[in-house]
Amino acid sequence: MLFLQRIFMIKIKLNIAVKNKYRIFAKRNFNISNRKVISMRWGLVLQYNGKNYHGWQRQNDDTPTVQGTLCKCFSDILQEHILVLGCGRTDTGVHAKNYVAYFDSNNLTEDKKAWLLWKINSYLPHDIRVNHIIRVPDDFNARFDALSRTYRYYITTAKQPFRSDFSWHVPQKLDIKKMNTAARVMYQYDDFTSLSKGNMQTLTNNCRVLYAHWEKKDEFLIFTIRANRFLRNMVRATVGTLVEVGKGNMTVDEFSEVIKAKSRGKAGASAQAQGLFLEEIEYDKKIFPRKLFDW
């Protein structure tokens, strides 16, 4: 009987030791109230050359995309499943100078942030670079928290063999004054169905254009457009249609009628993808100070 009592007491002590060890582990790694892993949300500012990618969004197969590449590299380094979510889609061949994304991690801490920035850039291919990793609020959403987005489109008026991956060569003479007059027409409207990709699953095609302007710089014509949101293919469709105005194939009044028609078939062809850059995403300065963006 005494032997059995000793065995029983040893079992009790072992159970207590195991439970105490689990409690210590749980406090470090879990929220005991709901048994959920404590993770932190991290924001990214990155840039990429879109030439070798089929856009931002990850696809079901092995098609190379920017999002798919980032998810794999971060997952390999942090040794956990990482889903990188972005501020929006970019199409095949489109570039980004200041793209904002975010991810949740159980393993990343503030003291490892500088190490991760170095490590991720050594893992990523040469055409993607992460510029900043910052701690963001747990409810931060790169897409829905954005206040505005700015794109730039580059047209070359002379053939540029070494810049052909980053601009659209238009050999015809363009009337930039008429193109700017037409661009200002966009301030008067909010429904840009005519300048978007058809069959989009969006609740609304309304956007508020805040700035739209062409400027000539050396042998480039640069179109800058800023809005609270953009429809899919909207910038390229806008550029392609404004080029028709510049060539004299469409008047400013006809450009206005195109927007009113709310029909993609009325607008011009989309400009080539390689001339388009996502330049900036604007957020509350408390979350993303503008100094983080590369100018």
Known catalytic residues? 91
In one-letter notation, the amino acid at residue 127 is D
Q: Kindly state the tokens that stand for 239.
A: 């550029």
DSSP 206: B
Q: Kindly state the tokens that stand for 68.
A: 């798919």
Report the SS3 class of residue 143.
Answer: coil
CA pair distance 204, 212, nearest whole angstrom:
21
Residue 214: its H or E element: strand 209-217
CA pair distance 255, 182, nearest whole angstrom:
7
DSSP 66-92: HHHHHHHHHHHHHTS----EESS---T
Q: Which residues of 43-57 are buried (b: 16+ CB within 10 A; e: fewer)?
A: bbbbbbbbeebbbbe
Residue 133: its H or E element: strand 128-135
Which residues on adjacent β-strands are paired with residue 36? 31
Q: Are 78 and 88 in contact (CB under 8 A)?
A: no
Distance of CA 203 to the CA centre of its chain: 20
Q: Are 239 and 180 in contact (CB under 8 A)?
A: no
CA pair distance 151, 280, nearest whole angstrom:
7
